[in-house]
Structure 1
Amino acid sequence: MIAKLKPSPLKPVRHPDDDLTIHYPETDSMPLPDGRYREPLFVEVVSTLEAYLTLKYTDVEVSGNTFIYYEMNNPRRSVSPDCYVSFGVDVDAIMEQNSYIIWRVGKPPDFALEIASESTGRYDDTGKRDLYASLGFGEYWRYDSTGGRFYQRPLVGERLVNGEYQEFAIHEEPDGMIWAHSPTLGLDLCWDNGRLRFYDPETGEWLQNYAEQRQRADAAEARIRELEEQLRQAGIDPSV
């Protein structure tokens, strides 16, 4: 698959009132709330989406648990989604400033996802939802691996319409899988027995996480070695 651009990638924006001497840290170096529970979940989500989207597009930022700054010259005004995606941006410029500064990037993220936990669940559903809407985050998703202990539902997806979030239709399969489609990502988000998985309806394939990619690569390498050995036994040099 060849990486491609979405239309009209934005260039960094410079405002005359922007004080470039102010430092905007990537994180606050504080432990992740409920990190022992949440960290493996968001690492899998971010790495899976990053591997898929950066192969498909050259102008997409995929990150998680890093600060997004939204008030000029005020580094105290920040939010840190568990996962966010922004299309049509200058990725190198974002990397250079080591954080996502909305007024410099030129737009808010298109997609944000939060992973439920005991300490964050209520705020994710209320104050953070209101904040993301006010900032213009195009889609806001919440995923609860427990099946609804913290969000009352396993999966919630919403899109911003005239400044307010409206929920996507949620589907439930006979086997208990719950899913909804994200137009922004072009993927189905699926709650599958506690795990969040991503399905590409265009190709009919599941996105693979790192462990699954490694397993597939190992199987392919083992198959190559097997074929090479068969060639040697037949008196054929596989290196020729």
Structure 2
Amino acid sequence: MLFLLFELDGERYALDARDIAHVLPLAPVRPFPGTPAYIAGVIDHEGAPVPVVDLPMLALGRPARAWMSTRLVLVDLRDREEASEANEANEAADKANEANEANEAADKANEAADKADKANEADKADKADKADKAADKADHGGARREAAPPRRLALLLEGATRTQSIAAARFAEGGIATPGARWLGPIARDESGYVQWVKVAHLLDARVRALLYPDPPSWRAAEATR
């Protein structure tokens, strides 16, 4: 697996590259009052506001430093439940498509049997009818469902200048529970020491998600009450 490495006070951490949409140079962040201290504010990306999490502030209680190696890393923050439901739906669709392919193979076999034995017409019609019903079921259940579009989040990271391939099997639990920082994942060791996997899906708790991604958007709710 490919990871983007970054540092927190000299210790190495890693983000799964599959969660990353863009890596941007450090840019001004507009403060957003009324949010936790580690929410640095928002940036504009391609015409849309994106919330910014200051990871050093979240992890260490100090703001990210404006170093040459500091980056704004845009990640896709997808709800774990939504992704799981989409995966289950896609698995069901795959099974339905396999059933459809099996029905097509049965149709070909029936055609060959018909050529070999004209007396099998009635039996062939019965099988074809069953195959059509199965195909109809497959068609109705075979549409693949995509997960809901992920929400975009920017992370302020220090030392985020290189990537590294690390096999997932090399990561293991660190042996210390961190209920207040569920985004801290398992650790791996290489020739440079330890590196800890940061789980993007766990960065924001439900309360902060509701602040950053209100549904409906807060400005629409305000208009509705006027």
Bin the TM-score by the shorter chain: under 0.3
Q: Which of these two proteins has the greater Rg computed from alpha carbons? A: 2
Q: Normalized against structure 1, the TM-score is what? A: 0.21
Higher relative contact order (CA 8 A, sep 6+): 2
Q: Which has the higher helix share?
A: 2
